[in-house]
Amino acid sequence: MMIKLIKKSWLWSLAAIVLLGFISMGCSSNGEFGSSADAAEKVYVAPGEYDEFYGFFSGGYNGQLGVYGLPSGRHIFTIPVFSQAAVSGWGYSEETKPMFQTTDGFVPWGDAHHPELSQTNGETDGRWVFINENNTPRIARIGLDDFKTQEIIEIPNSAGNHASSFVTPNTEYVSAATRFSVPMDEEELQNMDVSIDSYKENFHGTLSFIKVSDEGAMSVDFQIRMPGFNYDLSHAGKGPSDGWSFFTSYNSEQAHTLLEINASKNDKDYIAAVNWRKAAEYAAEGRGKMIPGEHYRNYIDHEEGGVAKSELIEEVRVLDPRELEGLVYFLPTPKSPHGVDVDPSGRYIAAGGKLSTVIPVHSFAKIQQAIEDEDFEGEEMGIPVLNYNSILHGEVQNPGLGPLHTEFDGKGNAYTTAFISSEIVKWDLETLEVEDRIDVYYSPGHLMIPGGDSQKPDGKYLVALNKITKDRYLPTGPEMFHSAQLIDISGDKMELLLDFPTEGEPHYAQGIAAEKVMDNQKRFYEIADNAHPYVTQGEKEARVERDGNTVHVYMTTIRSHYAPDNIEGIKVGDEVYFHVTNLEQDWDVPHGFAVKGANNAELLIMPGETLTLKWEPKKAGVVPFYCTDFCSALHQEMSGYVRVSPADSDVEISYGTGQ
Ligand code: K7E
Ligand code: CUA
């Protein structure tokens, strides 16, 4: 890295000299190096003004989804998804705990990689954003009307749900695939307890297609059983290739130990081209086989006051390409490919062969021709392997070292990240000539152009999502936020505009024009529509009810008091549920609720919403509770007391406000 740093700073001094030259010659600095003032002007969003785009950045190992404004790079929100978030009680409140239910029990953390906006006719539509979880295979759907996670579905027969969550052009399906092949849970495998040595015999991959209803409800429609490779990334076809999806694979060697060496032997691995429309027909006809595949689907039930429900689904339909013709074809692709990206016209499929010296670009028309001609060079588990030379549109030469991911500007150009050489390389989709390259700091993984994987990119900005931050910001000890860089791609030459930090590891991101989302925003929930089983519709209904050792507190909040705010008769050993309804009907007036001694997070209750905090008092005494969100000039007064008596006391339940 030291060498890299020296090289970069040397380059920058060179740039500075050239720039000085321009200035001393009285030239304008519109050229290659630009000027800080130009760049600053392009990203400046004046106080009180809005950004042009929303950016949704995966939080990686923080399990959440970050929302950023572009071009300013301002971090404007974090949507809690796969990890408990104490800031709002997500995963701590009784209403949201079921969202974390899995077949491994309650899992309070996740590794989120790829956000993907819903699409209509191949264009982002601003309804939802999906995001996958890698470790405990799941996909979440987030509503873009209230920026809250609405649903999380687990993917069975899967380990490492990485090639996910990419949508088809009308959001018919969201894709998923197992990154690590696993023994599948069929009865003959005795619950998957087999020797790791039996990898080649017993381990399989699965590609999963998650159906999305018009309302957004997700269900695993079918899985396709695949050879025991590692499946890495995916993208759906579009235009002429609509009806197909493409999945990269590596480890076609089927190694199960020291993959670094053993899975890097073959010159080529494969992209699996899946005819999902045909597969969906097979599934609808009841073809394939139902096998055990327990998985949970968790969703916020808006009919029942926003309380999350969990349902267990026990079986899953699996299609076998050995039995069903025309499901899958393998496209040989150099070498251990990572990303697979389909251009906006749907004609070209580019792979990021991380160990390859070229970017291979397949032609969908040629793939179709080769299938028709049965131009196969072999097969893997009954899946025909097409001839590399027959399907190739061409190879991009000299694309930088370690190409990973590609996005498109809708003007005939592709942009690929080169991880090892730390650059973005721009190339022409027809000629495959490299047109431009720009250094980024450092080691980009994904990149994002708003709409850049759809049929209608907004080819104005590109964001490089860099893995290594090093010297870009004030140091914060050994751990630093990752670094994104905004690049202007509106001209022939790319121009670096801005660095901004991103929280967690933002593998992938999506961007969308602000007006597609902002006009649709919920500002509060209608209190009259609140169908929560423990709602308190007005202060007069506020009350405390004891049922054995369980105590239900029906509590309301409005600026700036709780009702009730004095409660007596709680005893050590009780299970107390504070069901707090926020009666406000105004934008951005949540109230908080925190009680001393709770082994839990706070609640942050949106206007019109009811949330429940469970509290098991362990000591006798009087404890305060208070509002955590500075909601009015009298916010500090927004508080109350609970008296906790010993377990054997005979203090009766009593409560009130202002008595
Ligand atoms: Cu390349 Cu998970 Cu899409 Cu990270 S992945 S970079
Ligand atoms: Cu309510 Cu502060």
Question: What is the average per-residue pLDDT within 398-421?
Answer: 97
Task: Report the nearest-CA residue for atom 1 of ligand 2.
Answer: 591
Beta strands in 98-229 (DSSP E): 101-102, 105-106, 112-120, 123-133, 138-143, 148-154, 173-177, 182-183, 203-212, 218-226
- Give the pLDDT band of residue 228 (cuts 50, 70, 90): very high
Q: Does 14 map to a domain?
A: no
Residues 621 and 494 both lie in one domain = no
What pLDDT is attached to residue 190?
A: 63
Distances (CA, A) of 58 to 116, 231, 391, 502, 538: 10, 20, 33, 9, 39
Entry pTM: 0.94
Q: What kind and span of H or E run contains 322?
A: none
Task: Report the nearest-CA residue for atom 4 of ligand 1.
Answer: 507
Residues 435 and 291 both lie in one domain = no
Q: Domain holding 646: CATH number?
A: 2.60.40.420
Question: What is the average per-residue pLDDT within 286-314?
Answer: 96
What pLDDT is attached to residue 32?
A: 45
Q: Domain holding 396: CATH number?
A: 2.130.10.10
Q: What is the DSSP letter of 98?
A: G
9 pLDDT above the threshold of 50: no
Question: What is the average per-residue pLDDT within 380-392?
Answer: 97
User: Which residue out of 57, 113, 235, 420 has the highest number of ligand 1 atoms within 8 Å of its CB and is therefore the one to mutate?
Assistant: 113
Residues 475 and 614 both lie in one domain = no
441 pLDDT above the threshold of 70: yes
Share of the chain residues as helix, strand and coil, in percent rounded to the nearest 5: 15, 45, 40
Q: What is the DSSP letter of 229?
A: -
Read off the amino acid at residue 84. Q
Answer positive or negative: Cα dihedral of 513, 519, 522, 523. positive
Residues 283 and 414 both lie in one domain = no
pLDDT tens-digit readout, 188-201: 676 788 999 999 99
What pLDDT is attached to residue 16?
A: 43
Last residue of a domain, one of 505, 522, 539: 522
Q: Does 342 map to a domain?
A: no
Residues 582 and 596 both lie in one domain = yes
Answer positive or negative: Cα dihedral of 27, 30, 36, 42. positive
Residue 205: name the closest of 176, 245, 234 by CA: 176
Q: Does 318 map to a domain?
A: yes
Last residue of a domain, one of 522, 545, 564: 522
Residues 568 and 507 both lie in one domain = no
Instruction: Tell me, using a 6 A CB cutoff, whether residue 604 lines ligand 2.
Output: no
Residues 562 and 651 both lie in one domain = yes
Rounded to the nearest angstrom, the distance between the alpha carbon of 517 and the centre of ligand 2 is 28
The backbone torsions φ and ψ at residue 131, rounded to the nearest 5 degrees and listed phi first, read -150, 145
pLDDT tens-digit readout, 494-506: 999 999 999 999 9
- Give the pLDDT band of residue 659 (cuts 50, 70, 90): confident
* Nearest-atom index, ligand 2, CA of 630: 2
What pLDDT is attached to residue 34?
A: 57
Q: Are 542 and 657 in contact (CB under 8 A)?
A: yes
113 pLDDT above the threshold of 80: yes
* Nearest-atom index, ligand 1, CA of 114: 3
Q: Are 342 and 348 in contact (CB under 8 A)?
A: yes
d(CA 272, CA 252): 12
Q: Does 201 map to a domain?
A: yes
Q: Does 532 map to a domain?
A: yes
Last residue of a domain, one of 281, 307, 332: 332
Give percent of the chain above pLDDT 90.
91
Angle at 262 between CA 261 and CA 268, to 5 degrees: 95
Mean pLDDT of the chain: 94
pLDDT tens-digit readout, 517-571: 999 999 999 999 999 999 999 999 999 999 999 999 999 999 999 999 999 999 9
pLDDT tens-digit readout, 613-623: 999 999 999 99
**What range defines the domain where residue 633 resides?**
527-656
* Nearest-atom index, ligand 1, CA of 505: 4
Q: Does 337 map to a domain?
A: no
d(CA 377, CA 363): 17
Tokens of 100: 């974390």
> Total domain count for the chain?
3
Residues 361 and 316 both lie in one domain = no
